[in-house]
Amino acid sequence: MVATIDIFKGSLLETSYYNVYFNIILGGSITVREADRIELAIVPDPGGGFVPTPEQSAMRLVLHGTGFAYDGDGAVIAGTVQTIDFYNSLGFIAQLTGYPIDGAELFAAFDAVRQSLDLGPIFDILYNRVPYLVNGSEEGDYFGAASLGDTFYGNGGDDQLNGAGGDDTIHGGPGNDKLDGGADNDTIFGDEGDDLIIHSTGTDMLDGGPGTDYISFRNSLGEGPFIVDLTEGEYSGGGDTVSLVSVEGIIGNSSTSGDIFIGNDDDNVFVPQGFNITIDGRGGHDRLIFHRNDDFYGGPTRDMSVTIDAVAGTVSTSPVPDNIHFTSIESFAGSQSADTFLGSDRDEEFLPMGGADTVHGSGGIDTLSYELEQVVPNSSTIKQGAVVDLSTNTAVDTGGQTDTISGIENVTGSTLGDTLAGDEGSNVLRGLDGDDTLNGRGGMDRLEGGAGDDIHTGGDGADTFVVNPGDGTDTITDFEIGVDKLDLSAFDAAVAASAIENALPGSVIILFPDGSSITLEGLNLGDFSLAEVILGNSAPTGILPDGELVIPENALGGEAVTTFAAVDPDAADTHVFELLNDASGLFELDGGMLKVAAGAVIDYEAATSHTIRVSVTDDAGASFEKDFVIQVTNMPVSDIALASGGTVEENAAGGTVVATFEASENPVEPSATFALVDDANSLFVLDGNTLKV
């Protein structure tokens, strides 16, 4: 027996069916008593001083079943519960079916909670007797289920799914999900989105799917060391062995037993929680994170001040020096306390969080970034954008703390309105979200405001101003014709060119189809042209065959049908062709040449034409698809061959088989119609392709 919970509405705990369960169990009363229906709700108790909240007042459990009976006090003494409906302020949010429950036992368990706060019997009935099949809504859902091995489908939204005990199977579905199989041996699929998958105990299989997905073993029990190897796709520790697929991030626990984290060629994220840890990022652009005072990366009290030394490859926390060793890490995010970052000669990224931090970039092209400050859960209230001036080596973070910086070439702001200024060198300034003010000063700078209404000033030197779709209403104050460039490569080239051609006067105002715009102050419209613009890629617009699409019947495998060519505004692009529909295996592509597939049978009598679908993709990943119809020409019969027989005995009886014939058009499965032109004075007859007396 499997119970099914279908969730229709409810995002996370406050509006979940689980919250209705919990509140009704603790404080619900029967309000409707019928033979096939029982309703429970939370009612006021003025004498006891209890007044439910508006959310509690909207909660109801409606139990449908048969044979409900009640004693003189209204207690349920008989009947079977077949379906439970859940209601709250959102309406009808969930339904439990497929699990008949003894009504008298269920309400005796309710009474045990009310009289002695004993939750054991009710949780035994609800969670320890049958496994659950849980179907989530398209919103973010919160649910846990039985302890006997459940199956979850989160579907859409940012879900929080907890399998508790048993061998569970969890599918997060689209969205950024938090998935915890609990105890025993679980199989978890994050699916689309950036997911957090929590391993507790057992032999699990964890597949993050598309997106940036994390495995957390902060709840893992047992003796270490805990070893996570993303290259091999394995985790071991505490007596458990876990298979890992499509996992990019590792969140550790508080172990001090010599844990080892190994990355792969992807961009990995490492979040150590304990001490005595060795981390090898391997390939990709890898990040080491120490802001752990939140529900995602760690938990309360997990943050502490760190000193990160990229030259030595060590992290120290007071009072324990050099307690984490790392190699092949390119990005470092600090804690909410005052941290120290010491860069190496490599290109590195430093992300100070709260606190008055110190950042020394040293050699290489180094980036100071505040992009994580606004998005860290449970961080203190943030009221301002970051203010950074590389010419004076000053920086104020989004919490108002002053950071000490040196050796920094590039700056990335926060999700608020930042003020970022470069120095006399070549800088890259990225504002991200918010209404940012960017000033490159000297050098060949690259300014990218991001979303929001941004103001760009390049300063001296040949600067590049980057505008992306959806950026907002941006302004460039000092664009210099013949020196600076406007980078519109994120747009389709045809869209960008059209926007330039239709620019408005009054400075130069360029409007894009998505509603964003860029104004180049102080320029005459007649002076600005496509020569000042960096255009992006144009997608292919067509596929052309080199002649008629015709193939003769009985064509052999490998015979050419046509050669396709791409139609692309970017003449220099290279292209890859792919056969999306091969007409049930009849055709194949060799580069751009379409051929009859090996072993294929082209039979006019079976089909006079075949439809295929071809795609072409350019070297920037843009593609075009088109259907083509290939005509088959009929092959006439060129000969008649003797397939069997050919002699007959004297005095053979009528109906005796003399021979069978086949047409050379299709010797495997004759489809031609045979006729007897000369029957030798009525001695023979034809039955299909069989000659008889």
Could you read off the pLDDT of 273-309 as tens digits, one per residue? 888 899 999 999 999 998 765 556 655 545 678 999 9
- Residue 200 pLDDT: 87
Q: What is the pLDDT of residue 96?
A: 93
**Cis? peptide before 513, omega within 30° of 0:** no
Write out residues in the chain with pLDDT < 70, as ranges. 11-12, 145, 222, 292-303, 319, 374-382, 637-639, 664-671
- Angle (nearest 5°) at CA 17 between 12 and 153: 70
Taking a C-beta distance cutoff of 8 angstroms, is the pair 170, 187 a contact?
yes
The DSSP call for residue 372 is T
The amino acid at 31: T
Q: Check residue 668 and give its pLDDT.
A: 44
Reference 307, options 273, 280, 332, 282; nearest CA is: 332
Token output for 154: 């989160």
DSSP-based three-state secondary structure for 458: coil
Find out whether 247 and 204 touch, Cβ atoms under 8 Å: no
Tell me which residue of 414, 424, 412 sits closest to 466, measured CA to CA.
412
Task: Give the SS3 label for residue 561.
Answer: strand
Domain with CATH 2.60.40.60 in the chain: 542-633
Angle 291-293-294 (CA atoms, 0-180°, nearest 5)? 105
| Residue extent(s) of CATH 2.150.10.10 domains in the chain | 422-536
- CB distance 295 to 238 below 8 Å: no
Type of residue numbered 623: S
> What confidence score (pLDDT) does residue 319 get?
67
pLDDT at 384: 87
Residues 6+ apart with CB under 8 A from 279: 260, 261, 262, 263, 270, 272, 288, 324, 325, 326, 327, 329
Residue range 422-536 forms a domain whose CATH class is: mainly beta
How much is the pLDDT for 245?
A: 96
CA dihedral of residues 474, 477, 483, 488 (deg, nearest 10): 0
275 within 8 A of 317, measured Cβ to Cβ: yes
pLDDT of residue 669: 46
Q: Does domain 542-633 have CATH number 2.60.40.60?
A: yes
Distance of CA 96 to the CA centre of its chain: 30
